[in-house]
Amino acid sequence: MAQIIVVTSGKGGVGKTTSSAAIATGLALKGHKTVVVDFDIGLRNLDLIMGCERRVVYDFVNVINGEANLNQALIKDKRTPNLFVLPASQTRDKDALTKEGVGRVLENLGKDFEYIICDSPAGIETGAMMALYFADTAIVTTNPEVSSVRDSDRILGMLQSKSKRAEEGLAPVNEYLLLTRYSPARVATGEMLSVADVEEILAIPLLGVIPESQAVLKASNSGIPVIIDQESDAGKAYSDAVARLTGEEVEMRFVNEEKKGFLKRIFGS
């Protein structure tokens, strides 16, 4: 049976779609048949980050409405075997998503895939609530700033009360924290919250810490998930997070400021 994982947040612009693309790619690279579904109806950014925007013919809403089947709408990733994308519609509004329709699509995907990654819009509007409703696992994505963490705490409340698991009295949704755009140097100067601060506020297990990195922007502009770039700290951090998600024990990197050696202090990097 497929594991449904929602990548969610309370605040926009924290890196959910980047994280969804990276995590889905990382799972596929480990040999797991994975599909990533864009729930951001009306905007549709996932296909850009995955580099498949020109190949979108049918979308999630077309499948819900019976205007296309999954085979027609799913896009096979060019780089990674076992990875598929189900894009969102740019021309419909979020009311096009219904519990019955979304549930039916996820059930059908579950017959063929090990992991279903749901790329949620920010906040608690229809698309976001649909994405988190069916989740088995939630990756709550936040930046180390007070407003982002506060809004993420609200999402945790929604997961614990509004999910299908909560409604049916099943085991609760597994919750993980993914901390993005983290800079130990800025933590040291008091410009952002530390990992410990965020963990204390949200009180959920830490899945990964993604450092601030130009590689993220470069990857997004190139249509290549940043996890592919294993020369970058961000790519390595996402690989670590995927390893933890699949049960491996991996040391948490990129949490502390790197101490520069004598030559680096003199000549720079």
Q: From first to last of the 269 residues of the chain, give the pLDDT tens digit.
A: 799 999 999 888 899 999 999 999 999 999 999 999 999 988 789 999 999 999 999 999 999 999 999 999 999 999 999 999 999 988 777 678 899 999 999 999 999 999 999 999 888 778 889 999 999 999 999 999 999 999 999 999 999 999 999 999 999 999 999 999 999 999 999 999 999 999 999 999 999 999 999 999 999 999 999 999 999 999 999 999 999 999 999 999 999 877 655 455 555 55
Query: CATH number for the domain including 173?
Result: 3.40.50.300
Please check if 127 is assigned to a binding site: no
Max alpha carbon distance in the chain (Å)? 64
- Determine if residue 123 is labeled as part of a ligand binding site: no
pTM: 0.93
Residue 263 within a domain: no
Task: Tell me which residue range forms the domain holding 144.
Answer: 3-246
C-beta of residue 10 within 8 angstroms of C-beta of residue 159: no
The response to whether 18 counts as a known ligand-binding position is: yes
Q: Does residue 177 lie within any of the structural domains?
A: yes
Question: Per the annotation, does 223 bind a ligand?
Answer: no
- Strand-pairing partners, residue 138, are 6, 175
The count of domains in the chain is: 1
Provide the pairing of β-strand 83-86 with 75-76: antiparallel
Q: 111 labelled as ligand-binding?
A: no
Do the bridges between strand 137-142 and strand 83-86 make them parallel or antiparallel, or are there none, so unpaired? unpaired
